[in-house]
Amino acid sequence: MPQLDCVEVNPKVKPTASVIWLHGLGSNGHDFEAILPELKLPASSPVRFIFPHAPSLPVTVNGGMVMPAWYDILEMGIGRRLDKEQLLESAEKVADLIDRERGRGIPSDRIILAGFSQGGAVAYQAALTYPHPLAGLLALSTYFPTSKSIDVALANRHLPIEVMHGSFDPVVLPSMGKAAVEDLQELGFQPQWRVYPMEHQVCMQQVKDIADWLKHTLKMNS
């Protein structure tokens, strides 16, 4: 399987941690690259940010239009139907990126997975099935379509999980985000659930909370 193309932003110091951040449907790796200055992380922060580009696929709910997508969506709504095999393949490609970071000297427990919308669905699958302990999972405006079939890796049974959602999200309904949290709890996790007065997007208070969570999870000084 070919490795995903990525945007990579390296720190000014030697990296000792990595954040792999997956974009949503129809976007690309540059989408969340733009958020980095807003995080206001310390200049000495040793974190490498990796923003993979999803492959281009025909997306059924968008009339078969070819666009960057982690998997095909066959039907919208709460019972969202999707191409599960494509989701699992994308999760494997993300696991390959984690492997690559480990090969570059970053311990697995210093690697965070983050994902927005479709990217978050893939991040749930990739993080919870990865066979070595990760630092954390950040799930943004997303849902957990593989929650009933996932085989959680023993190494990540206690993974810190931060779940954030917009209370007015018309694309991934808040109830879908909350259902993911409940599924996580059934699997034995203790996710943090945060809701913001926004739609399918990111807001400034959330960006501040993400920065605080990254610093806490990676034990960075403010």
- Residue 52's H or E segment, with its range, is strand 47-52
Question: Which position among 117, 147, 165, 183 bears the catalytic label?
Answer: 117
Q: Are strands 17-22 and 111-116 parallel, antiparallel or unpaired?
A: parallel
Token pair for 4: 């995903």
Q: Does 99 qualify as catalytic in the annotation?
A: no
- In degrees, to the nearest 5, what angle opens at C-alpha 42 toward C-alphas 36 and 45? 85
Q: Does 169 qualify as catalytic in the annotation?
A: yes
Q: Does 200 qualify as catalytic in the annotation?
A: yes
Rg (Cα) of the chain, in Å, rounded?
Answer: 16
- Phi, psi for residue 171 in degrees, rounded to 5: -95, -55
Q: Just list the catalytic residues.
A: 117, 169, 200
